[in-house]
Amino acid sequence: MLNDLKQQPADALLALIKLHNSDPRADKIDLGVGVYRTGQGDTPVFGAIKAAEAKLVAEQDSKAYLGPEGDMGFVEALMPYIFGKQDPAMGGRIEGMQTPGGTGSLRLALAMVKRAGYNRVIVGKPSWPNHNQICADLGLEVFEFNHAAADGSTDMDALRGALGQAQAGDAILLHGCCHNPTGIDYTNAEWDEIAGLILDSKVLPILDLAYQGLGQGMEEDAYGVRRVLAAVPEALVCYSCDKNFGLYRDRVGALYAMVADPADLTRVMSNGHALARANWSQPPDHGAAAVRLVLADEALTAQWLDEVAEMCERMRQVRATLAAAGKTGGVDLTPIGSQNGMFSIIPFTPEQVQEMRSKHGVYFAASGRIAVAGLTAANIDKFIAAVADVTA
């Protein structure tokens, strides 16, 4: 019965938002919410998206159902950016479908993995919390390895060890770029090695590409995904447009499957369609249609790429400023300069996290994860001074 349901803990991020909103201090800083912000603290609608939406309103002549696969024009338009322009379908081995955001893509990928007979997912620790939550909800075992070494680089020994212990029926979930929550990415040379390790271990790679363009650039951030796909027979790629198109609330994502034999693709994707039908029937159309229109228009595509590059450059400038502060109190901020994307982790103790909130009005996750884009020219000096104060 419904009254037998157990109380679930409040979402930590939502609780953090409430804490920040209730703080009356005018100079409080929100580093918890994972959205991009400009130097003025705003989360804008992309100019390219606004133009595409205006076109959509003027030209769209139906709101009829599309089906569980969603807007296939959107799905196909993204492929050259993800997989490369030369042969984005890899000789007919790759096909995709639209999903409700990157989370929907991951949910669908892991449900397909479960249906295909996989039992365990190898996941770096720490990872985005929803990775493990989705696995748990689907009854998939999670086998964790340390993602980051003590010196702020990736822990390749831990990854090698995890793949060395891989069993039949294992998959591995890897962040394609801009690791959430650490910001610590694999180098190109490390991806070269990882591709070979995955091939040798025969595990199924699930590649989560949620932040393409926000690390080093659109092409640079796709290196790891493309390198792994070039080496292995099968893979799943989860993609999000929520960040690099600013479509957070529209929930725009895609799932791509790569198979060894193109003849298997229709059968594999039929399982994705069936699972989608049972979960959300079909994904919301508006945001995906806007992306499709952007990518179909050369001028809008150029405008979008400029907007993504501007986001990337602003976050790199924030990282450079933090890195320049060097040893700050009891922590060294230097490694943040070589990290990528929207997040980094600073090794605060739980007591220091609370003191940052209560004494300085600086709010971020209990893990020490900060949303880099929440720092601006107006508040970054305050943040650095607060770090020095509570960690001294």
Q: Among residues 155, 170, 185, 208, which one is catalytic? A: 208
Per DSSP, the three-state class of 87 is coil
Neighbour-count burial of 274, counting CB atoms closer than 10 A to its CB (0-12 exposed, 13-18 middle, 19+ buried):
middle
Q: Among residues 30, 128, 185, 285, which one is catalytic? A: 128
Per DSSP, the three-state class of 116 is coil
Catalytic annotation present for 63: no
- HEC string of 326-386 equals CEECCEECHHHHHCCCCEEECCCCHHHHHHHHHHHCEECCCCCEEEHHHCCCCCHHHHHHH
Q: Among residues 221, 242, 243, 250, which one is catalytic? A: 243
Question: Sign of the C-alpha dihedral, residues 76, 258, 261, 134?
Answer: negative
Residue 131 and residue 129: Cα distance in Å, rounded?
5
CB under 8 Å to 120, separation ≥6 — which residues?
140, 141, 142, 143, 167, 169, 170, 171
Helix axes 286-296, 72-83, angle to 10 degrees: 60
Catalytic annotation present for 243: yes
Q: Which residues are catalytic?
A: 128, 208, 243
